[in-house]
Amino acid sequence: MAFWTFLAELLLLVGLAFVFGLAARKLRQSPIIGYLAAGAVAGPLLFNTEAIVNVAEIGVALLLFSIGLEFSFHRLKAFGAKIILAGLLQILVTGGIFFGVFFPFFGTGNAMLIGIMVALSSTAVVLRILVDTAAIDSIRGRLSLGILLVQDIAVLPVLLMIGVMGGADPATGILMQTARIVGSLVGLIALFYVVFYLVLPRLLLTRGTFAERDLVVLLTILAGIGSAWAAHALGLSAALGAFVAGLLVGESPFAHQMRADIGSIRTLFLTLFFTSIGMLLDVHWLLSHLALVAAAALVVFMGKTAITFGVARLTGVSPLPAIATGITLAQIGEFSLIAASAAATAGIFPENLLSLTVATAVVSMFLAPYMVIYANPLANWLSKKLSLTSVSNGVRETEASSPSRCAVYVVGFGPAGRQIVEQLADDFILFHVIELNPVSARKARELGHRVHVGDGASPDFLQDTGIADAAVVVITVPDPESSATIIRLVRSIAPDTRIFVRARYQVSCERLKRAGADILVNEEEMIGMVLAAKLHDAVFAASDVAMACAITGAPVPEAASIDDPDQERDIR
């Protein structure tokens, strides 16, 4: 009877999570906000709260297992040293400043946890909105993605620190507890290495085994949940064990398939986790302390925006994308809720501090989608107020200061921009390059091109390049939001100039046309045309028989030859 009561409560939670998640999407919010609200509503109705929280821990473990699967040292290296440095500095500076603020009130341990939790942003919300708005390829999007990846990795030492703080007592001391946890972690890594690198490859890479999907699905669940159980058995955080296992499996040849297979079950348990966090939210406390929570959320927003802006500027990012990145990441994320839950379970956080942390995080995550969507307009407004759009936005080369009515201005010196520039050079057409990325601008200068280094979305800088006298402007930046801004600026500065624009996504074409583009090149449409042509060439390069065999998968008869187009068609 108890089991069916527990199952009914789980169904109630999942059902409410679906309803509230759907409502959140209608309000252009992340479904996570709906899951948190579902937990807050359902919490008083549940009797098996402890059992549900225990089940929800599996969701955290599976989330961190999948994060580990997605992590790759090659992927991290691809972001470049500056972005990795920006991520590290963002965590250290944010954590240090907020530690200093809260230390007088809550002591060393709690102040450290608060600082780190404030430093972590919402990977789930930010990346989803950046992808939905096609801004992931912008400078802001790439910088945000790199910082978020570094933050995800930082969860590992955070969970380790919580384990040390939660297990330390006067008898053993922090030093002994640290040694015990580190020893257990080393043993766990050794165990996982043997299993994932020596045993599993022999089992999975044999003929026919990896192709059996059911076995791979079972193995994925066993690896994700089993690693969490093994860590718990050794006295470590279950989430920590799952993350370490994911990191090790992530470098294996079957990581991609395991990542795909774990998706559905992870969604279920993760939904339960966020609803369980919602149960921690004391709605009565939130309403009675609304002014305090609003002030805390405002401090987090302003502090993280300023810190991330400063860190981005230190690593060479221009003011506008630096401000926009700061606004994009100026919230407390889901990993902070995981840390808060772990700290509460370990008995580290006092109840009032836990209530404040969870309430501030929920309010912050509720506002996160708007931070991402309106980051660029707000960054433009702030940059004008703070006078950041003048000289600091760009430094022109002296040889680039002689505009000509016969010139072409190419905005963006990425792969597309380089091809255009090469063609212009072959045709002996005078051109100028506008590029925000200092590395790309240096490459253009090394090739002898006229370069304006700065942000094409800045009116003052764009006017200073001499673009008013351009005959043609070609905009090759991949971010549609930035493209639309540049189109409108060019159209206001040079109304008669013809504007050619790269449109990466079909959905952005109408918007770019309304902004004032004369000629659009739709990437998705062009890719479809090229792929169709390649497919046509590949199919009809063979005889009818060979083509039919290629399509049906049947073996090609020896008599069939590409030189014999009149071959009998009986294979069909």
Query: What are 22-32's pLDDT values in tens digits?
Result: 988 887 777 87
CA angle 157, 163, 168 (to 5 degrees): 130
The confidence band for 146, taking pLDDT boundaries of 50, 70 and 90, is: confident
Report the CATH fold assignment for 2-384. Na+/H+ antiporter like fold (1.20.1530)
**Highest CATH level, class, for 395-526:** alpha beta
pLDDT given for residue 338 in this prediction: 77
Q: In 3D, which of 84, 11, 72, 83 has the Cα closest to residue 42?
A: 11
Q: What is the pTM of this model?
A: 0.66
The pLDDT score that the predictor gives to residue 221 is: 79
Asked if pLDDT for residue 234 goes beyond 50, the answer is yes
Mean pLDDT of 188-203: 78
Tens digit of pLDDT for each residue in 544-570?
A: 566 556 555 556 565 544 444 444 444
Is-contact 287 368, C-beta < 8 A? no
End-to-end CA separation in angstroms for the chain: 61
Whether the pLDDT of residue 501 is over 90: the answer is yes
pLDDT surpassing 90 at residue 305: yes
The yes-or-no verdict on residue 328 having pLDDT over 80 is yes
Query: CA distances (Å), 281 to each of 85, 190, 422, in order?
Result: 35, 39, 59
What lies within 8 Å, CB to CB, of 244 at 6+ separation is 68, 156, 185, 188, 189, 192, 227, 231
DSSP 492-503: HH-TT-EEEEEE
Q: Where are the domains of the chain?
A: 2-384, 395-526
The pLDDT of residue 508 is above 90:
no
Fold agreement between 2-384 and 395-526: no
pLDDT digits (tens, 9 = 90+) for 353-395: 888 888 888 888 888 888 888 888 888 888 777 776 543 344 4
pLDDT in tens, 238-287: 777 787 888 777 766 666 667 666 767 777 777 877 787 777 777 788 88
* Rounded-to-integer distance, Cα 270 and Cα 57, Å: 8
pLDDT: is 311 or 3 the higher one? Answer: 311
Q: CA separation (Å) from 512 to 124, 146, 529, 557, 566?
A: 28, 28, 21, 53, 50
Task: Output the pLDDT for position 294.
Answer: 92
Residues 290-319, mean pLDDT to the nearest whole number:
90
CB neighbourhood size of 11 (10 A): 10
**Sequence-ordered list of residues with C-beta below 8 angstroms from that of 114, at least 6 positions apart, any chain:** 98, 99, 102, 106, 353, 357
Q: Which residue has the higher pLDDT, 549 or 493?
A: 493
Residue 522: beta bridge partners? Answer: 503
Distance set, CA 354 to CA 2, 192, 203, 476 (Å): 30, 34, 46, 48
Mean pLDDT, the chain, as a whole number? 78
**Which range is least confidently modeled, 94-98, 178-182, 223-227?**
178-182
Question: Over the stretch 37-79, which tens digit does the pLDDT of each residue have?
Answer: 888 888 777 666 667 666 767 777 777 777 777 665 666 666 6
| pLDDT value at residue 308 | 93
Q: What is the DSSP string of 375-387?
A: HHHHHHHHHHHTT
Q: Could you report the per-residue pLDDT of 61-70, keeping only the tens digit for each?
A: 777 777 777 6
Per-residue model confidence (pLDDT) at position 461: 80
Q: What average pLDDT does the segment 328-350 reach?
A: 80
Helix (H) and strand (E) counts for the chain?
26, 7
Q: Is 529 exposed, middle or buried (0-12, 13-18, 19+ CB in 10 A)?
A: exposed
Q: Binning pLDDT at 50, 70 and 90, where does residue 541 land?
A: low
Average pLDDT of span 6-18: 83
- pLDDT category at 543 given cuts 50, 70, 90 is low
For 455-547, where are the E strands, in sequence order? 472-475, 498-503, 519-522
pLDDT above 90 as % of the chain: 10
pLDDT at 563: 47
Q: Which residues contact 524 (CB under 8 A, 6 or more apart)?
A: 504, 505, 506
CA distances (Å), origin 111, targets 95, 335, 346, 348, 353: 9, 17, 16, 11, 11
pLDDT at 570: 44
Has residue 211 got a pLDDT over 60? Answer: no
At 395-425, the pLDDT tens digits run 443 344 444 456 899 999 988 899 999 888 8
Distances (CA, A) of 322 to 75, 142, 143, 266, 465: 22, 12, 9, 34, 22
Residue 248 has a pLDDT of 77
Q: What is the pLDDT of residue 15?
A: 87
CA nearest to 228, candidates 212, 239, 215? 239
Distance CA 455, CA 449 (A): 18
- State residue 390's pLDDT score: 41
